[in-house]
Chain A
């Protein structure tokens, strides 16, 4: 009896935690009948938001990988004075409130900002906002992935005559790609949900800068059903992303480098 009580309490607490995480999401689907949900998904507000989100996310993620990977590799493979400071600076946007990110982007790229560009209110602004808040997730995961690559393998590759570029693409990248994919998926998910920086820096205009989260916020004040439909759409997209990520991780030989990010489903 005495032994069973703690176990029962643990199960009860676990049930509460599980219900707390699952029920709000389930409620989105229960509030609106599936037919109505599908109908809402064909309205221009929803399709426009989906297109804007898909397009800006795709561009932002390509930029993140293109510019983030070299930065992550350098930070992982070199040690120099100020290394820790640099890593912290890279991680800073991660912990910043998105509203602060929006202010920063305006202060730099705004028409009256340091660079004085005409980027605000354009799709480019959405891409920059997404890239700014999401790239640290990719970069810090990528640093961990590169650091986990066995230096002996890199040394062996060099000894056998491969140059640094060849070694990077043939040895380091294949070994780290599980971690890189995990980081990229995290960054994608974070970017897809971006709200605060976007609404401040890019504004909100249907078909141009209004992403799914912005459309949800706007729809909430006008038509709750549309908001729910948009919410359901984001849940589905995010869930798919998570599943793909888990599949990618379980297929990779180097999953050790990144498996701490998610519990395996199997």
Chain B
């Protein structure tokens, strides 16, 4: 099973989003706790102050007997009426030493008195309750404020904090998204540039938009590509130089042996010279195949600049005509018009000459070899021979695999053709018997071509 590679953008975004949400929740919770604690403390102090203030007023200015005179118009902190709703007002009770109610504010709920804890704060029946008592215990003021007001204030604070955090979160997330996108775009551009590199383009990477953090990686990449470029150039140069260095000595030997044969009169010696000549010719063919293989492995078939390949094919067909023993043994249909293609001319030469060699070598001789280039981009080379078995068909593209053990070939030709076709985005289809027939072998090569001008 192939492991799916995660996207950098998604990974970065997820990595930032999750901690961001947790940070917002945690922030809201901490702010809520602190605000609630401080606010409660302030409100409790305010409530206690009101109770103590009233107590001191009653204790200092009013005789106990006179307190009842205030009964009808007891409105301490009357300013609250202008600021608060009726259900938000603080309520008061004034009790004597026995706990009898001397005075109380409007909207009285006497059950609150039963819930109070003397000298402390308590929350009950939707109120925050406290009291203040004179030193002699003669008067007690009980004050109670509705919790709803406090809770509303806390809710407003928390809502404000949450709104602030969410807005901040969106802002930070947006900024992070843009930053991540921009950073990822640099990585994507770098990746595209690296992806576009091949045997024909190993130029240094464009650094107009990079980061300091990835510069060392680009430096390393450029160094590696420069080394690869040098290695490929050396490999191609080797194939070219080796052609001269290997072919010339063999040419010298072959020429001398052929001259020697004309001078020899002794039968045995002549036969030896003939064997030597055959061996040299075989060595020539082997050198040719090995040089082709070296060129294929150095990426000869990888995109050249676009050019019309029809003249190249015509030249190869002209050379083929010179190789057949008699003109009637070859039927050729030449390419028409322009075949614009990126396939290297030398790769085309190696591909077609190998297929021509194959057809000439294995043709039965009962029917002509046919080369049909009438379809734009397609060349079909076919020859007459007994049909090949499926296992033979499967084996012939393998390196060092021969169609026949008695064949004079090395079993390299078709594997070289296959490799060059793959490199040049061309396709090679082999068939035996030929389509619609019971005999024969055909090779169809489709080059990637356009019409061009």
* A and B are interacting partners: no
